[in-house]
Amino acid sequence: MPRVMPILAIAASALLLADARADVFKYVDGKGNTYFTDAPLAGSKYRLAWKRESERLASEKRERLVSENRQRLAKLGLGSSPAGVSALSLRAVPAPRFAPPLAPALPPASATDQSLAARRARFERVINAYAQVYGLSPQLLHAVIRTESAYNHEAVSRAGAEGLMQLMPGTAARYGVKDSFNPVENVRGGAAYLRDLLNLFGQDLTLALAGYNAGENAVIRNGNQIPPYPETQNYVRQVLQHLAAERVGG
């Protein structure tokens, strides 16, 4: 029996579950509902929109995402292939499980095998670019990233936060981050969130940082004060210490 999946607000890429060599059929019914299936559908209620090989469809999806990321980088003035950044843009989303893997977007060595200074230098241009976009100081973003992940773009916390700025899945979705392990997307989402928190709390940096760690609602519930959580209080202190060191070093 063919696998039929109606589309409402789900991206087509999430529906490509067929075998690597299977075909994918797109049908539309009389009510405008869209269906993807790995075998033809019978019945006059379905109109065939197109038929493609699943591997080709996945390849087109990857190419489109790569193009979108390059355009985003160009708008930031980073160009399509700046040193240390172009490869990162190729990891917009993981390749579908049945598609040929992309060439490695990052050096094979794990981020934990590199020195802190080397990891920092690698992401400096991206950090500077998004600091400018969101009206933040680069030193602040560096301080947050050092506290959150020590510049390890592969970091995952026990709570499920991911990437350089340790975005929770809900926060990533809120800011349109498709792949939290993509440093370009991760820094963009984290910087946007930090800017919103600063605006929410009247540019009070300590409250914005507390909100970044514990969530803005936790700060609000505690009367716009740093919540009495040891982890959050320690987090704010650490970021401020790193920020002070950044300013002295800069």
The span from the CA of 162 to the CA of 178, in Å, is: 12
For residues 121 and 64, give the distance between their C-alpha atoms in angstroms, rounded to a whole number: 29
Domain co-membership, 130 together with 221: yes
Label residue 135 by pLDDT band (50, 70, 90).
very high
* pLDDT confidence of residue 59: 59
Residue 235 pLDDT class (50, 70, 90 cuts): very high
Give the per-residue pLDDT at 92. Answer: 30
Q: Convert 169-197 to b/e letters by CB count within 10 Å (16 or more is b).
A: eebbeebebbbbbbbbbbbbbbbbbbbbb
One domain, residues 127 and 198: yes
User: What residues pair up with 114 in beta bridges, in sequence order?
Assistant: none
Assess if residue 66 is contained within a domain: no
Cα 56 from chain centroid (whole Å): 25
Long-range contacts, 121-125 (Cβ 8 Å, 24+): 121/84, 122/84, 122/151, 123/84, 123/151, 123/153, 123/164, 123/183, 123/187, 124/84, 125/78, 125/82, 125/83, 125/84, 125/85
> Does residue 63 form part of some domain?
no
Q: What rounded mean pLDDT belongs to the chain?
A: 75
Does 96 fall in a domain? Answer: no
Instruction: Please write the tens of the pLDDT for every residue from 164-178.
Output: 999 999 999 999 999
Q: Indicate the pLDDT class of residue 132, thresholds 50, 70 and 90.
A: very high
Residues 118 and 180 in one domain: yes
For residue 75, tell me if it sits in a domain: no
Q: Do 123 and 244 have their domain in common? A: yes
Query: Is position 217 within any domain?
Result: yes
**Distance (Å, whole) CA 248 – CA 250:** 5
Does the structure show a pLDDT above 90 at 12? no
Residue 201 is classified by DSSP as T
Is 148 a known active-site residue?
yes
Among 20, 39, 56, where does a domain finish? 56
Band of residue 87 on the pLDDT scale cut at 50, 70, 90:
very low
Residue 27 lies in a domain: yes
pLDDT of 22 reads 58
* pTM greater than the 0.85 cutoff: no
The pair of structure tokens assigned to 63 is: 């190419």
234 shares a domain with 135: yes
Residue 51 and residue 129 in one domain: no
Q: Are residues 23 and 136 in the same domain?
A: no
Domain containing 152: what range?
A: 108-249
Report how far Cα 156 is from the mean position of its chain's Cα atoms.
13
Answer yes or no: do 159 and 43 share one domain: no
pLDDT at 14: 35
Strand partners of residue 47: 28
Catalytic residue among 148, 154, 162, 246: 148
Identify whether residues 207 and 130 lie together within a single domain.
yes
Q: What does the pLDDT look like over 17-73, one tens digit per residue? A: 333 345 677 778 887 787 667 677 777 778 887 776 655 665 565 566 556 655 655
pLDDT digits (tens, 9 = 90+) for 186-207: 999 999 999 999 999 999 999 9
pLDDT at 101 over 70: no
Task: State yes or no: pLDDT of 120 exceeds 70.
Answer: yes
Q: What is the pLDDT of residue 69?
A: 55
pLDDT of residue 229: 94
Residues 168 and 242 in one domain: yes
The answer to whether residue 233 sits within a structural domain is yes
Judged against a pLDDT cut of 60, whether residue 1 lies above it is answered with: no
Give the residue, 20 or 129, on which the prediction is more confident.
129
Least confident of 21-35, 100-114, 122-136, 195-209: 100-114
Number of domains in the chain: 2
Q: What is the DSSP string of 127-180?
A: HHHHHHHTT--HHHHHHHHHHHHTT-TT-B-TT--BTTTTB-HHHHHHTT-S-T
Q: Is residue 101 part of a domain?
A: no
Q: Are residues 127 and 211 in the same domain?
A: yes
Same domain, residue pair 173 and 242: yes
Q: What is the CATH number of the domain that holds 120?
A: 1.10.530.10
Output the pLDDT for position 144.
Answer: 98
Whether pLDDT at 8 is above 60: no
